[in-house]
Chain A
Amino acid sequence: MPTRQSHHRLAAVLTAVPLALVLAACGGTADAGTDAEGAETAAAATTVTIEDNHGSVEVPVDPERVVALDNHVFETLSAWDVPLVAAPKGIMGDGLWPGYTEDDAVLDVGTHREPNLESIVAAEPDLVIGGYRFSDSYDDIVAQNPDAVVIELHPRDGEEQSAELVRQVEALGQIFDREDEAARVVADYEQAIADATEAYDGESTVVGLITSGGEISYSAPVTGRSIGTLFPTLGLRPAIEQAAEDTSHGDDISVEAIAAANPDWIIVLDRDGAGVGEGEYRPAAELIGGSEALAGVTAVAQDQVIYLDPDFYLTEDIQAYTALYEQVAQAFTDAA
């Protein structure tokens, strides 16, 4: 695999350099933040200091004009009836958060591939919750919106995903003065994890898969997006012991390799399920359940395939994980 490896190495170098710069810059801003805090204690009543992905930031409590770009936060904000002034409607699916996507007063930031950053400026925000797919636009957003506080709360690379989700919703609770609600969301999440861990027999092997465009790919334990985090969190035994490289879209794997691993359970993210690619869409249930080569695999033969909520690919928030862990707990319990 020389091409992809060198490609990744190059990518690592290319990202490391700006990252170092950002980190250095962060050190600077963090210090500045503490100085400012000392000087303006009077303002503390209306602001709260949170730790975002770049360091300490002072955020106005319950800000009026909010722009949110990170898919992880829409569910929480929507549940708390927080109005938005702009959002990336192109990546929010249909009907998930109609209060945001179908309201013309909410300006459209487009998609992360073709962001319309001007709409953020036009929305005159007090707070921009950026990050995740929009991480690349962070510097531009900061530069273009000098009057707004810009934060990033999405799970950081290299940190434990589970703790990161909790950190995110707790920060939102502080900002929007909903700490009790945030605590409830976290409690539900932890309960679902406890139930799923309890229901798992500790022995069964599991394979995580992603389907898209009629192809099946492998979602690696730990690093693999969404499904991967289930492995460390629940202590699942992977049926294929091999580090994968494409952590967000999965690695190319043949059905016979899955058959050879013969997992007891298969957990599948159907990436096209969320309304993208209606025409060519081949559902995961058909690709996996209907595969001749996989018919003999324990997971398929005993109906032990867990299909993620098709919207998971768009949400990926703590609530979606809670639902997923509840689903897993239920499936494990039913099979026992």
Chain B
Amino acid sequence: MTYFIYTFTGALCNYFFCVHLLPNKLTFIKRFIIFLYAFSTFYFFNRIYGQASTFITFLGITFLIYFFTNSPYLSLSCYLFGYLYTITFNYLFMWIAGFIFKMDMEALITHHLLLIAFSCVYCIFCGTTTKLIGYYFHKKLNITKYLINDHLLKAIFIDLFLLVFFYIFNFSYGERLGYNYGVIALNGIIFLLLFAITVFLMYSVYKVTMGEQAYKHRMAQFENLRVYTERLENSYGIMRKFKHDYMNILVTMSGFLKEDDIDGLKEYYGERILPISRAFTESDTKLGALSNIKNTAIKSLLSSKFVYMIEIGIKTEIELTEPINNLNMDCLDLSRILGIFLDNAMEAAIETEEKQVRFCIFYKEENLHLIIQNTALPPTYAISELCSHEISTKGENRGIGLFNVDMILKSYENTIWNTTYEEPYFTQELILIHNGS
């Protein structure tokens, strides 16, 4: 019975640090398999091989996670980190327990009641703290978003793997040699130090990666703005040319007027002046409207998307009739949403005959309205199903865009998102309600 509880709590600890730290939630069945595996290996092999059985559990779970998750190295690193964390604190706890009860480890392990109490307390501690650490990692530090360098992840994985390997080797071998208080204390200190160094290293790696990401982001923004400025300069060039021409045009017209040559004037107007005005409305001057957007990140995103759309021959209309200052939403979230909407609009419009995308932002009683309208082929799905995970008009495994928008918007109370299709226009309307603050 004691053995059962001991292995059960051990497996539970394993399960906790394994599942709680993973970046993506596993399905119930996968979680169950992991727990079952941990428990069965513990239960069957611990009495035969002693602590060396941990090798079997550890390697097995490593493989399981590798196959169960879609970003294996990140998940594995999280798992290994959890392992290190648990073992380190296990040592620390044992040390403290030994200190309090004045027993060495051998006595502690053979004392049934104490062992059960210790296992249960440690299991609860493990479950709650790993949950908190997992939350901190993924919600606060957002490591899934920033640690995407595959090379770096592999290096972290190998480092952690070796460390864990030595950990297990140490305590399985230590068991064979027989523990005493001094050995445990020494091991505890060594591993605490190693663990602290690893945490410190990880933190530095994280900081550096964050910095790199921010730098890349800034460079991309800078590049977008450079292209935007270039376009504006182009259209300014057209204006200057027109300024130069228009004196000539006026002089010619006054000549026609002096001679009372109305027919000549009509002809001149139709042939020379009308085309100029058309050239104006169709040229790059459209992008100038973006100057009304005061947020640089959003401006750079919009300019890059629209420059691209104009280049691939989509008729774009950008309507920005007033300055846009307050976004009523985090600017990074809004750029992600806008990026997804505009990419979708572009892809849908290119398939149609008319190839039109219209975009506008305006305030209506302080609420920010964003509207993106594009020509699109009639949808083959019900519109309400568009943002569910598996549906996409672009084939399999690609319906992730609108699903992400839905996820982002779920964390905001103050949004209204309307989607409509009225032949031939598909419209996304997003209303960000001003919430007083």
Binding partners A and B: no
The chain A residues found within 8 Å of chain B, CB to CB, are: none
The chain B residues found within 8 Å of chain A, CB to CB, are: none
